[in-house]
Amino acid sequence: ALETGIAFLIGNFLNEVAHFLGRPQAQWLPGAIWTLVILITIYVVKESLIFVRRSVMSRTTSRIQAQMTARLVGHLLKVNLQALARERSGALHGRISRSVEGFIKFLRVGVADFIPAILTALFALGGALYKEWRVGLVMILVIPISTLITVWQVVSQKVIRDQLQEAEEDLDATVVEQLGGLEYIRAANTYNIEASRVRTSAQSRGERTSKHGIAMARFDWLKAVNEAVFQVILIGYAILLAARGYIEFGAVITFHALFLNVMRPLKDVHRILDETYDSSNEVTILLHMLSEPLDQSYGVVTLRPPRLDGSIPLLECQELVAHYTTPQGEQRRVLDGITLAIRQGQAIGIAGRSGSGKSTWLRCVLRLIHPSSGEVLVGGVPIGVLSREDIGKSIGYVSQVPFVFSGTVAENIAYGCGSVTREQIAGAARQAHIEEDISQMPQGYDTVLTERGGNLSGGQRQRIALARMFLKNPPVLILDEGTSALDNISERRVRAAIDNARQSHTVIMVAHRLSTLNQTDLIFVFDQGRVVEQGAFNELVKANGVFAELVRSAEAG
């Protein structure tokens, strides 16, 4: 409305000036000054409203972007792990960023750009039709032609946009893979291979970007020519009407300003349609990721707590069967009827060849994957009816590759342990025999660790994870090769701490280095997805079965 008002004011102002030409200034100058003051006021009000609109939109979209990012990442953290395993982490990260940005762009384009553009164009057309309907009709003719060009542009570029998105994801994934394997790439001197991979991905993206850019420039040229042709036609027609006395000459300027008011939003509408198509693809991806079903372990509410008084097995598996899907899409049985029971206070060893089912069994116990049949019971309660929170409280876990993040040493030890004091953190560190190492770090417990604990040794990372587990203090402690990266002295110290923890904990050690199982109460030996032997270390060696063969192989190696 303000843009239309400005166009009418300028036209009327010029008519007044032309009318008073040759007369004394006193007759027309005060009115002209007031008109100019009104014009300036309207411009200031218009720009102020635009500023307010953009400020409100910026604050709103920033808040929504933060909320959407947190919601999406939070959702993906709960999605079935097998679904995420199909994705390359770099591509997934890029998709997360672009989908949220696309959603925000969709909001900005729709609310901040599209609605004001449409209203501006409608007011300008209404003003033109009111002033002189014939000129208004000429203005209307430009709209369908420009819209047709834009629709052609959007439809014709669909395939190349999809290809460009795939190329961007491929490049993201390649770079993230390389960063994860940087040490090996340098040690193996495969720099040229990796540089070639990036160059190939970047060239593919560059070619598609160039193709898309050239096509966009061609359509922009068509739209600019269309605008110029209609602008000349409209000005010429308005001058003709003025020459014949149908309108005043000031109205020519008014119609030209109104035409620009129509074309400026029309350009925005073209850009909006184009950007909306781009962002709608990202929004579709966002909605698809948000629609990924959550892992079934979430949303469970524990109806009865596990019994941890020692009267029944603390951990029990009954006819546990599990499958996994091969890259060829075939179902392969990994666990074949696992039945075992572990009582409170026992130290349990899990042994077997690589691929025997140890890690799969462990993932079932942690409910990271779900068995095809059979049950895992914790304190007599099926793990399927325990909430994720109760599973986390019941079982402490140290993986082969401990989770260490960019943060202080204290933050890493206290991770997932709720509100704890510095004294409790230090006590857990002493128990894991990492306190001396921490005292030698520049800021002690406040020393900042790099991503994945890159400024720690493998043994230090393992002991940080052990300290976290001791601080968490769950009834069951699981170590998946949890002491494999320790030197002999540290291993003995940590083993002594674990032996002390057995007074009130059940300890399960999944081991490939069989010497770590020497002091366990009971060892379950896995082979081809089954428990083929169980017993104490020396008993199994004397039995001369699978375990004895593993021991002999380790000693010979």
Asked if 222 and 350 sit in the same domain, the reply is: no
For residue 23, give the DSSP letter.
Answer: S
Asked if 268 and 333 sit in the same domain, the reply is: no
In a domain, 135, yes or no: yes
In a domain, 411, yes or no: no
In a domain, 302, yes or no: no
Asked if 271 and 375 sit in the same domain, the reply is: no
What distance in Å separates the CA atoms of residue 297 and residue 423, rounded to the nearest whole number?
A: 34
| Token couple for 64 | 């929504």
Asked if 136 and 176 sit in the same domain, the reply is: yes
In this predicted structure, what is the pLDDT of residue 277? 64
Counting the structural domains of the chain, the total is: 2
Q: Beta strands of 326-378 (E only): which ranges?
A: 331-342, 347-352, 373-378
Domain boundary among 291, 306, 329: 291
CA atoms within 13 A on the CB side of 112: 19
Asked if 244 and 378 sit in the same domain, the reply is: no
In a domain, 76, yes or no: yes
Helix (H), strand (E) counts: the chain: 19, 12
CA atoms within 13 A on the CB side of 263: 20
In a domain, 431, yes or no: no
Domain boundary among 257, 291, 325: 291
For residue 441, give the DSSP letter.
Answer: S
- Among residues 139, 113, 95, the alpha carbon closest in space to that of 273 is found at 113
In this predicted structure, what is the pLDDT of residue 310? 76
Domain boundary among 225, 258, 291: 291
Q: Residue 237, Cβ neighbours under 10 Å: how many? A: 17
Assess contact for 324 and 370: CB atoms under 8 A. no
Query: Going residue by residue through the chain (557 aa), what tens digit of pLDDT does each one get?
Result: 556 666 656 666 666 655 555 566 666 666 667 777 777 777 787 778 778 877 888 888 888 878 887 887 777 777 776 666 666 665 666 667 777 777 777 777 767 677 777 777 777 778 778 777 887 888 888 878 887 887 787 777 777 777 777 787 777 777 777 776 766 676 666 768 888 888 888 888 888 888 878 888 888 888 888 888 888 888 888 888 878 877 777 777 777 777 777 777 666 665 666 666 666 666 666 666 677 777 777 777 777 788 877 788 889 999 999 988 776 777 888 899 999 999 988 889 999 888 888 888 998 888 888 888 999 999 888 888 888 888 888 888 888 778 888 889 999 999 888 889 999 999 989 888 888 889 999 999 999 988 778 888 877 888 888 888 888 888 888 888 655 556 677 667 667 666 666 666 788 988 767 877 888 889 999 999 999 999 999 999 999 999 999 888 877 75
| β-strands 373-378, 448-449 pairing | unpaired
Domain that holds residue 250: 2-291
In a domain, 467, yes or no: yes
Continuous H helices in 86-190 = 89-107, 115-131, 133-156, 158-180, 182-187
What distance in Å separates the CA atoms of residue 125 and residue 303, rounded to the nearest whole number?
A: 66
CATH code at 470? 3.40.50.300
Asked if 261 and 339 sit in the same domain, the reply is: no
In this predicted structure, what is the pLDDT of residue 251? 76
Residues 6 or more apart whose CB falls under 8 angstroms from that of 97 comprise none
In this predicted structure, what is the pLDDT of residue 536? 92
Asked if 540 and 393 sit in the same domain, the reply is: yes
In this predicted structure, what is the pLDDT of residue 524? 94
Q: Coil, helix or strand for 459?
A: helix
CA atoms within 13 A on the CB side of 385: 11
At 308, phi and psi to the nearest 5?
-120, 25
Asked if 103 and 218 sit in the same domain, the reply is: yes
In a domain, 484, yes or no: yes
In a domain, 449, yes or no: no
What angle in degrees, to the nearest 10, is found between the helix axes of 25-76 and 89-107? Answer: 150
Asked if 8 and 81 sit in the same domain, the reply is: yes
Asked if 286 and 329 sit in the same domain, the reply is: no
In this predicted structure, what is the pLDDT of residue 553? 84
Asked if 138 and 209 sit in the same domain, the reply is: yes
* C-alpha to C-alpha distances, 349 to 480, 510, 553, nearest whole angstrom: 10, 6, 18
Asked if 339 and 473 sit in the same domain, the reply is: yes
What distance in Å separates the CA atoms of residue 69 and residue 60, rounded to the nearest whole number?
A: 14
Structure-token match 């002690």, residue found: 444
Angle at 52 between CA 51 and CA 58, to 5 degrees: 90
CATH code at 25? 1.20.1560.10
In this predicted structure, what is the pLDDT of residue 353? 87
- Among residues 413, 407, 411, 404, the alpha carbon closest in space to that of 452 is found at 404
